[in-house]
Structure 1
Amino acid sequence: MVSKTIIVLISLIFLVISLEFRPSNAQTRIRVGYYWYEQDSSFLLSDINSTLFTHLVCGFASVNSTTNQLYVSSSDEKYMSIFTNTVKQKNPSVTTLLTIGSGTGKLTYSSMLMSNSTFRKSFIESSIRLARLYGFQGLDIWWISSDIISLDMINIIVLLQEWRAAIVSEARNSNKSQLILTAMANSSPNLGSGSYPIGSFRKYLDWVHIMSSEYTNPEETYFTGAHAALYNPTTNVNTDHGLTSWINTGLSANKLVLCLPFYGFAWTLVNPRNNGVGAPATGPAITEDGAMTYKSIKNYIKKSRANNVSYAKEKGLLGYFVWQISYDDKWVLSQAAADQERSNFLHQKDNKQLRQVLVIVFTTAAAILLISFVIYFSFLKKLKLIGRVNFARESKNIKYYPAAAGDFNSNAHELWKDGRGMEFLDPSLDDLHSTCKKMRCLQIALLCVQEIPNDRPNMLEVSSMLKNETKYVKIPKKPAFSKQTNEDEEQNDESTSKPELCSVSDAPFTEVLAR
């Protein structure tokens, strides 16, 4: 029974600790911002509020179709070479990545991918070299589209494998941190004739930016629509369905990063009075392709961005990325997204701190209880010579029937004092040949029932005496509720007043006084 109790207590302690320190979906989420100088040259690097992001991605580096090497144009180099140093001035902990490809062309490196290993090696080595040259801490592929996958699935898998191996090797040889490797992919993993290479994405990429936007646009559809709908009950073309498909296909949520588009589209309506979602349209409005930045439509997006950030957290995603930061207006959207993320984090932190306090309190209490049980039952085991005392027994030299605790304690003390303590003990006790040991236990037991609380040993002292760690054991006085007084305390001068230390009680139990 004792061992089972102790096992249960230990199990409870480890259960609570394991619940507190188990892996949690509440990992630190990332906040990624894309920056493309070409689309808004009036937006200066020094204007970037890098404190709102954990990662910033700068674009674009291109692939030379002749050499298959990565390069940056002379016009882009002037800002790309200082990008990392500039954004780190406001946020030294921000991580920067260089993105490869083109903001408009999705087949930038398809010819290289379909080529031999020499071309891939040239591309990979040049990408690492360029990232180090400009101080970037990672590389991003813009983008692995369904078109590329359909054309050359095998070589994209080989590319990722060789790229990751080269990154690991370069870090080991240079004693630098490994470069991050990420990619942009479609909103859904499902392609017309198959799906993305999920296993390779999981193994070789640090995470994947999911382009959960542009489900509809005025150049392709002749009715209005939410181009980045989080949910859509009428079709599977929506963010929730796409991300759920990625997770169900085998890419864990903590490798998925949700897109927050800082832009929208404008349609030319067939009937201006019919202007809801799904209204008939004839094509783009306002701009050539209908695309409009938040600066033009800032009264529309702020609330929906906060909802998407909460969605990313609830879904267990690694974080979000924005396309792109120059579309923001005075950092209203970026601030709203960051505030929502921080609010989620603080709420999560408060809950974690509360759990930690409860764990500390519960664990401490359980530990104290466990120690108490161990000491108590260890003490009880060694004092079974007391526990098995025969309350009404007859021996060769003495016959007594204690009527109360006082008589019982007095008899034990008198027998111990006269050196006849063995007569008080049950002969069925263990250690029959260890008289000294049993007498020591009886002496300790008598000390535990002294009249004055300060004369009684505490549990640690009892344990030490039972283990023979204490050479000297005090001589017990008359126990509590004895009928006689201690001889050494009797006074010849009856006029001297003295507190009464001994009393008689007919009750089978005595009052418990704290040590």
Structure 2
Amino acid sequence: MLAAFEQEAKQVNKPRLMITAAVAAGLSNIQAGYEIAELGKYLDYFHVMTYDFYSSGDGQTGENSPLYSGNNVYLSVDYAMNYWKSNGAPAEKLLVGFPTYGHSFNLQNPSNTAVGAPTSGPGPAGPYTKEAGLLAYYEICTFLDSGATQAWDAPQDVPYAYKSSEWVGYDNIKSFNIKVDWLKKNNYGGAMVWTLDMDDFTGTFCKQGKYPLITTLKNALGQQSSSE
């Protein structure tokens, strides 16, 4: 494919089409699915899906995209990206995944709201995304406005929130900025987002402007658009 793209670029006198791949962040999936060093020769970018580390099937609360490891050393953005890099993927080709959604849980005991607290299944579906156990960022803003308690998971550098038996682990502007600082220090190639339509694209839910998370990401990476 690379040779074909290079040939086409010469024929049409334009830059070569890029070859990228969205790749797993879970250790067992990485080990089972990829020849990392070999891929590094051909791919222009690895889009590492550094999210969905914890979800409602785990039986306990957990962060969707923790920067650093908590109870499980393998489940974090930092561990996954370091694994790809140390096993042959060039840092400048590695793009860190930033989620604009969170995973929600139903607490077994509403008085135990800690990270790692026992759960009895997914949290209720959001009014728009309509999927149990998942909330878009703009739905999380509505949850916060409804009187949910916000908390900061200091060891993992991401927030969570809870109200009665509902618990959600997610990312916000603060955690995005922390992750970008970490990304720059580790000289990774950049970032990718999943997904555009789960950010507050109208700017009406979170009162943080349109696309608050993605705008934060762009600004922190020095990618401000003059049209904004």
Same-fold call, TM > 0.5? yes
Whether the 8 Å contact between 1:187 and 1:212 is mirrored in structure 2 is yes
Higher helix fraction: Structure 1 or Structure 2? 1
Distance change (3 Å), C-alpha of 1:323 and 1:182:
same
Aligned to 2:180: 309
2:90 to 252, 274, 283: 252
Taking only the aligned residue pairs, the percentage that are identical comes to: 31
1:442-453 equivalence runs, <5 A: none
Matched to 2:58, the amino acid is: T
2:38 to 169, 180, 200: 200
2:59 to 222, 231, 241: 222
Higher strand fraction: Structure 1 or Structure 2? 2
- Measured after TM superposition, the shift of residue 222 of structure 1 is 0.8
Aligned to 1:291: 134
- Measured after TM superposition, the shift of residue 259 of structure 1 is 0.6
- Measured after TM superposition, the shift of residue 341 of structure 1 is 2.2
Tell me, in whole angstroms, the C-alpha distance in 2 between the residues paired with 1:193 and 1:255.
Answer: 19
Where structure 2 has 5 or more consecutive residues not aligned to the other structure, the ranges are 126-130, 145-158, 160-171, 201-209, 224-228
Matched to 2:183, the amino acid is: A
- Measured after TM superposition, the shift of residue 257 of structure 1 is 0.2
Tell me, in whole angstroms, the C-alpha distance in 2 between the residues paired with 1:277 and 1:310.
Answer: 24
Q: With the length of structure 1 as denominator, give the TM-score of the two structures.
A: 0.33
**Residue 205 of structure 2 is aligned to residue 325 of structure 1:** no
- Measured after TM superposition, the shift of residue 192 of structure 1 is 7.7
Whether the 8 Å contact between 2:37 and 2:87 is mirrored in structure 1 is no
Whether the 8 Å contact between 2:92 and 2:187 is mirrored in structure 1 is yes
Distance change (3 Å), C-alpha of 1:193 and 1:232:
closer
Aligned to 1:44: none
1:25-64 equivalence runs, <5 A: none
Whether the 8 Å contact between 1:189 and 1:195 is mirrored in structure 2 is no
Query: What RMSD, in angstroms, separates the aligned Cα atoms of the two structures?
Result: 1.9
Aligned to 2:12: 174
2:51 to 184, 208, 213: 213
Where structure 1 has 5 or more consecutive residues not aligned to the other structure, the ranges are 1-162, 344-515
Q: String of CA shifts for 1:205-228, please: whole Å, max 9, x gaps.
A: 10100001101110x211100121
2:80 to 224, 242, 247: 242
**Residue 176 of structure 2 is aligned to residue 339 of structure 1:** no
SS of corresponding position for 1:266 = strand
Q: String of CA shifts for 1:204-257, please: whole Å, max 9, x gaps.
A: 110100001101110x21110012111114322211111111111111110100
**Aligned residues between the structures:** 180
Matched to 1:248, the amino acid is: S
Whether the 8 Å contact between 1:224 and 1:280 is mirrored in structure 2 is yes
Q: With the length of structure 2 as denominator, give the TM-score of the two structures.
A: 0.73
- Measured after TM superposition, the shift of residue 173 of structure 1 is 1.9
Tell me, in whole angstroms, the C-alpha distance in 2 between the residues paired with 1:326 and 1:195.
Answer: 29
Q: String of CA shifts for 1:421-445, please: whole Å, max 9, x gaps.
A: xxxxxxxxxxxxxxxxxxxxxxxxx
Tell me, in whole angstroms, the C-alpha distance in 1 between the residues paired with 2:28 and 2:87.
Answer: 9
